[in-house]
Amino acid sequence: MRWRTETLKAVPVLVCLALAVAPAGEARVTALLPYRDPALTAQARAADLLSRMTLAEKIGQMTQAERGAVRDPADIGRYALGSLLSGGGSAPPDNTPAGWADMTDGFQKAALGTRLGIPLLYGTDAVHGNNNLLGAVLFPHNIGLGAARDPALTARIARATAEEVAATGANWTFSPCLCVARDVRWGRTYESFGERPDLVSQMSSAVAGYQGTPGEPGSILATAKHFLGDGGTTFASSSTDGYLLDQGDTRLTETQLRALHLPPFRAAVRAGVGSVMVSFSSWNGVKMHAQARLISEVLKGELGFQGFVVSDWAGVDQISPDYSVAVRTAINAGVDMVMVPNDYPRFVRALTGEVKAGRVPVARIDDAVTRILTQKFRFGLFEHPLTDRSFASGVGSAAHRDLARQAVRESLVLLKNDHLLPISSSVKRLLVTGSSADDLGRQLGGWSVTWQGKGGRTTTGTTILAGLRAQAGSGVKIDHLENVSAAQAARYDLGVVVVGEAPYAEGKGDVRDLSLNAADRRATETVCGAVNCLVIVVSGRPLLLTDQLPRIGALVAAWLPGTEGAGVADMLFGPASFTGRLPVTWPRTNGQLPVGRPQDAGPPLFPYGFGLSH
Ligand code: GLC
């Protein structure tokens, strides 16, 4: 039987006595220490536990290591580590729910075996489903959910994701990304819900989806990321010292920064988000990881954020080549937990040295540790540290796939339709071509089984072509041709060209040019020049179709739909009508970016909010 926190609270507790059977077998009664008493508040338990901790144990709680860096599980006790993570694609050799649960439980038992037995927070980037787990349902990436404009759906997806995460023993997701994407040449555009702060703020509904009732089964800690202004960086003229946009410099006045990028974090804090991740980017030349006023005064003070702030992956290191300077700057700025994530002994030594030298006040350490412990108590980690394996049956479940398929339908945006959709019953010969017609990996995009994602059949799912074959009536002949001539295309009643992008993540997806790749451009021009054509765009952002548009009969933005590609076909044969609306402006040329700049290059191809119904 699972004792839930509430049940335990119902027990009249003056001093709740626990019978601990000592090795000798004689029963000895030990008073339950306050921090172990679930009847007390998380704050009270954290205060009691903090009072019992050594400096080494406190600094350990502020240390997050990547699972692959922990060569010896004994290090968890040796360094009193407070958290581990799986970076993108970092999975146990047995990439199944049981394989994950055995791994995370192994780490947890090492933590529970320490002097104070403080359980670990285990974090993972479950950003569109539990995407590190093979066989998990992968939902449309955030840009598609922004097009759906359905906060309740976003919350339901987050809940389903939380359950598929809980099945693995992880208890923390580095999601939702509440970035406001102002330049769609950015490789993380698809992680954004859109270009407007009000739309992104609405999608902070994901926080409630992930966190549910903290401490309840299936509830996991969420992360609002990346604080602050990650989607507003300035396009670099050259990529000599990094990416073109990602991790760049957001050059805005404070008024502009607050107006464009702060509202989603205000919404997430109001929703009770338990953690916030700092952005790699800078604001007016100063790294966000060093921005004491924004982190401590604005986020924690003005917004009243009570959770803890976690750095991004080695984000602290980018502050200064002097690691000790970097560490003390970040911690004094208000970073509470450091995603080291590899050389954690070095971090522990550096921070210990800074505290002992008086350059990092003990009070700052105590504040950071209190914030971290409070979330651990809030989410019931002390009562339920090990995996709830009852959630394993939900991984890849039909119910979650149905939810994902609904999200795909709602995410599609109809941009042009010269009476081609819904596909008429008179269409008997259908041609399907294009780089993303029958490629699950391209539908998934980045953060899918691996960090960068990759083409091909990388996990369980349905391609757009498979969905078309299943949906089309028995009298419809569908041919999938990877390369097609105009003469071949002319023999069909309708040509469906599914174009798109190869998967990418983060700065590796930054581009100067949003044009279709050559093969897709050729396929579009060949097919649309020979027969009525429907073009479907499977991408993390708008792609340039300006020159091809006049010959395109119907145009659908499908974003990165995830494993349930059948949701695309659901909308092509009707009768349901499209409801999606553009979450970002669709530019006519590369020169029209970022949005909001003086439109000296004329109107966009399709404006923010555009979308047709049939
Ligand atoms: C990455 C990303 C961040 C992610 C973290 C852990 O670099 O910037 O979004 O949560 O590292 O994978």
What is the C-alpha to C-alpha distance for residues 389 and 395, in angstroms, rounded to an integer? 11
Query: Cα(39) to centroid of ligand 1, in Å?
Result: 36
Q: Which residues contact 208 (CB under 8 A, 6 or more apart)?
A: 155, 158, 271, 272
CB of 446 within 6 A of ligand 1: the answer is no
- Residue 378, classed as helix, strand or coil, is helix
Q: Read off the DSSP letter of residue 159.
A: H
Query: Cα(532) to centroid of ligand 1, in Å?
Result: 43
- Residue 29, classed as helix, strand or coil, is strand
Active site residues: 312, 506
Query: Cα(340) to centroid of ligand 1, in Å?
Result: 12
Q: What is the pLDDT of residue 473?
A: 85
Q: Which atom of ligand 1 is nearest to the CA of 175?
A: 10
- Give me 464's structure tokens: 């757009």
CB of 172 within 6 A of ligand 1: the answer is no
Q: Judging by DSSP bridges, how do beta strands 282-283 and 286-287 pair with one another? A: antiparallel
Decide if 231 contacts 225 (C-beta within 8 A).
no
CB of 225 within 6 A of ligand 1: the answer is yes
Asked if pLDDT for residue 304 goes beyond 60, the answer is yes
Q: Torsions phi, psi of 16, nearest 5?
A: -85, 120
CB of 289 within 6 A of ligand 1: the answer is no
Q: Which residues contact 179 (CB under 8 A, 6 or more apart)?
A: 188, 191, 192, 200, 225, 226, 230, 231
Longest CA–CA span in the chain (Å) reads 88
**What would the pLDDT profile of 350-368 be if each residue is shown by its tens digit?**
999 999 999 999 999 999 9
- Our mutation pick for probing the ligand 1 site, out of 127, 131, 191, 313, counting the most ligand atoms within 8 A of Cβ, is 313
Confidence label for 8 from pLDDT (cuts 50, 70 and 90): very low
Q: What is the pLDDT of residue 30?
A: 52
CB of 150 within 6 A of ligand 1: the answer is no
Asked if pLDDT for residue 164 goes beyond 60, the answer is yes
* Share above pLDDT 70 across residues of the chain, in percent, rounded to a whole number: 94
Q: What is the pLDDT of residue 574?
A: 85
- Give me 523's structure tokens: 């396929």
Specify the length of the chain in residues. 614
Confidence label for 7 from pLDDT (cuts 50, 70 and 90): very low
For 291-349, strand residue ranges (E) read 308-310, 338-339
Query: Cα(261) to centroid of ligand 1, in Å?
Result: 19
Asked if pLDDT for residue 603 goes beyond 50, the answer is yes
**What would the pLDDT profile of 187-215 be if each residue is shown by its tens digit?**
999 999 999 999 999 999 999 999 999 99
Query: Cα(172) to centroid of ligand 1, in Å?
Result: 13
What is the C-alpha to C-alpha distance for residues 132 and 233, in angstroms, rounded to an integer? 28
Asked if pLDDT for residue 341 goes beyond 70, the answer is yes
What is the C-alpha to C-alpha distance for residues 79 and 463, in angstroms, rounded to an integer? 46
- Our mutation pick for probing the ligand 1 site, out of 127, 132, 174, counting the most ligand atoms within 8 A of Cβ, is 174
Average pLDDT over residues 172-191: 98
**What would the pLDDT profile of 493-530 be if each residue is shown by its tens digit?**
999 999 999 999 999 999 999 999 999 999 999 999 99
Quick one: which of 160, 63, 166 has its CA closest to 105? 166
Q: What is the pLDDT of residue 241?
A: 72
Q: What is the pTM of this model?
A: 0.95
Query: Cα(191) to centroid of ligand 1, in Å?
Result: 11
Asked if pLDDT for residue 4 goes beyond 50, the answer is no
- Residue 534, classed as helix, strand or coil, is strand
Q: Which atom of ligand 1 is nearest to the CA of 87?
A: 12
Which residue's CA is the nearest one to ligand 1's atom 1? 313
Query: Cα(86) to centroid of ligand 1, in Å?
Result: 10
- Our mutation pick for probing the ligand 1 site, out of 90, 121, 125, 450, counting the most ligand atoms within 8 A of Cβ, is 125
**What would the pLDDT profile of 405-456 be if each residue is shown by its tens digit?**
999 999 999 999 999 999 999 999 999 999 999 999 999 999 999 999 999 9
Instruction: Give the count of alpha carbons within 13 A of 228, CB side only.
Output: 28
Query: Cα(298) to centroid of ligand 1, in Å?
Result: 23
CB of 410 within 6 A of ligand 1: the answer is no
CB of 336 within 6 A of ligand 1: the answer is no
What is the C-alpha to C-alpha distance for residues 413 and 605, in angstroms, rounded to an integer? 14
DSSP string, 113-140: TSSS-PPPEEEE--SSSSTTSTT---PP
Asked if pLDDT for residue 15 goes beyond 50, the answer is no
Average pLDDT over residues 457-481: 96
Confidence label for 471 from pLDDT (cuts 50, 70 and 90): very high
Average pLDDT over residues 252-265: 98
CB of 174 within 6 A of ligand 1: the answer is yes
CB of 341 within 6 A of ligand 1: the answer is no
Q: Which atom of ligand 1 is nearest to the CA of 223?
A: 10
- Give me 294's structure tokens: 């924004």
Q: What is the pLDDT of residue 243?
A: 94
CB of 312 within 6 A of ligand 1: the answer is yes
Q: What is the pLDDT of residue 16?
A: 44
CB of 88 within 6 A of ligand 1: the answer is yes
Domains defined along the chain, listed by start: 33-393 (3.20.20.300), 412-592 (3.40.50.1700)
